[in-house]
Amino acid sequence: MKKIAVFTSGGDAPGMNACIRAVVRSCIYYNVECVGIFKGYDGMINGSFITLDGKAVSNIIQKGGTILKSARSLEFRTPEGRKKAYEQIKKEGIEGIVAIGGNGTFTGAKLFYEEFGIPIIGAPGTIDNDLYGTDFTIGYDTAVNTALEAIDKIRDTADAHDRIFFIEVMGRDTGYIAVRSAIGGGAEMAIMPEKKVSIKDIVAKLSYNHEHTKSSHVIIVAEGEVEGNAIEIAKKVKKALPNLDSKVTTLGHIQRGGSPTASDRVLASRVGIGAVEGLLAGKTNVMAGIINRNLVFTDFETTITKKKPINKELINMIDILSGRSPFHE
């Protein structure tokens, strides 16, 4: 293999640039030409390629976002769009691809490989940490620390005014960010898809705590919670407890930005190198991930379809660390 392409797709995540850098530096190390594809699958369809050398990826390891940009491609979801992409890839002489992204990115990569046989290896780039086949995904650690910094500041205000703060964090289908930021931020509760918590439960705990232990509270809400987003949950609680002063903060896309943590830079570098070495070793249609500190490859089908559960111990920790509740009386 003499020419490998790399692209980023889907939601951006801190550490994507570190992964791009690792792919390029690995290609240089193994004497392979490296090409960057701008704007994900759209760029593949339109032939938006650029040669990447050592200088191109200098001084980017600490930067958030992605120098290759990202986009969601409706055209690539069609057979005609994928055929256009294949023709551009062949025209450019690309023999292997590193796809940095999440579930949607890998779904497209799997289809592309099955239809045209271009070797592809994925690198897990998503702050949600919801990909099976890796302990952590690129950007997750940074997103948690960004949320935690905001939670610490909000708690100061909550204490000063005896308020309840409902803080919404990202996590459309999973509560990975919610559970760790709740533990690290000393939250009284975390409401997320993996743990069923009713409005009645929330009201009971807030009433008990307000009467027996404390008057300020921080409650973390994952955006994918079945009871609704933080605003909706706060309204329902306010209706039941009209005398309690409550506020809502939605952290939103600030969790995606910023300089990646050391953990995310190291993870991104490991899977970036692993993806290139995997391609050179003949692997394809797999994601490079880290499990128990070891580099592993998991086929796209498993990565996409298999649910990655949150450790129940982490969920239980929130209840234990938040103090006694009415459920123990």
Enzyme catalytic residues: 128
Q: What separation in angstroms does the CA of 242 have from each of 164, 229, 233, 245, 249?
A: 12, 19, 13, 8, 19
Among 37, 51, 101, 28, residue whose Cα is nearest residue 271: 101
How far out from the chain centre does Cα 285 lie?
A: 21
Euclidean distance between CA atoms 151 and 18, whole angstroms = 27
Q: What separation in angstroms does the CA of 228 have from each of 20, 128, 193?
A: 36, 18, 10
Helix (H) or strand (E) holding 112, with range, is: helix 103-116
Residue 216's Cβ-side half-sphere holds a number of Cα atoms within 13 Å equal to: 11
In contact, 16 and 66? CB cutoff 8 Å: yes
Euclidean distance between CA atoms 215 and 236, whole angstroms = 19
Q: 195: which DSSP letter? A: B
Give the chain's end-to-end CA distance (angstroms, integer): 66
Helix (H) or strand (E) holding 189, with range, is: strand 189-191
